[in-house]
Structure 1
């Protein structure tokens, strides 16, 4: 499967590397395909990795991952183009943090909306699934680095898109019973609102090698 990962920061490169390891063809979408950092990534990724501008990456892809900074996600997706995104599954792992490094972080929108809902509203023909935004990049791609029992979430309007997202999560090592479906795309609100708690836990622990577990009876 051809996957376009939009965003060449740590999250994007980590996800793109893992998809390439799983032998998916991966295009790392970036504003500057000639930048040294992304060229180094493409070399390290080997035959499964390539780099392209946003629009070219999306046009050729089957699945799109939004790993851009939440404050610029809509601008990047507009640059990629609604026509290129139409009909495709978009996995949104971004968070709408206004000022990176601020603690506690300010989210915009928050409470009565979410970044994922904004994306779905502006690109109604794209099948948006919110997932993986509540864990660090290292845990996203290697959940077995932690003890058992921790979970990840997804939310979206399209059942087929959520099944595809679940397939990717399973490939990366998430057990089926660790993937919790929060229903339609409005479930993204609660996922994004977990970000301030994640920031504070990171400060308390002094690292980001942790995750949430859900106890039920």
Structure 2
């Protein structure tokens, strides 16, 4: 399935995603209208429809964009040492999440609002990401024996549960930066290891 629903300028579409994500997150997807998004963008609704077909398409493309962002961030970690590699993935995951918190939070909680076909596509992307994380965790288990006896998918569920929850409690105006939070998560999840990871 194509992620393109219109012929709008890519930069303008990204701006629309960002504004819509803030409204979806604060007001709720179902309570938000395309008029709300158009007003927040300072656009007429027909101009908004030039960029995005409808509200569901907007949520779908936002969700796909969110997954591409997270996957690309993880793929940018390429350290040959398994533990350092996984730490770099953790740091990149948290930083990617918190750089665009509303979009990722909306994508996490509004999956049920998509059509079955759209939901299947986003779910397939999530499974691909899960596989990437499973491979990184499995390499650590093989190399160091960490989490011995635990199925790889169980370790991954614990890790992603901890990382993804940050979108619900992190406050940009707070004292902690995304990088600091990510590195603390590394120490919590992988205590006693090397601190060599420096994306």
Which fold has the larger relative contact order, with Cα–Cα distance below 8 Å and residues 6 or more apart in sequence?
2
How would you bin the TM-score normalised by the shorter chain? under 0.3
Normalising by structure 1, we get a TM-score of 0.26
Normalising by structure 2, we get a TM-score of 0.28
Instruction: Name the structure where helix makes up a greater proportion of residues.
Output: 2
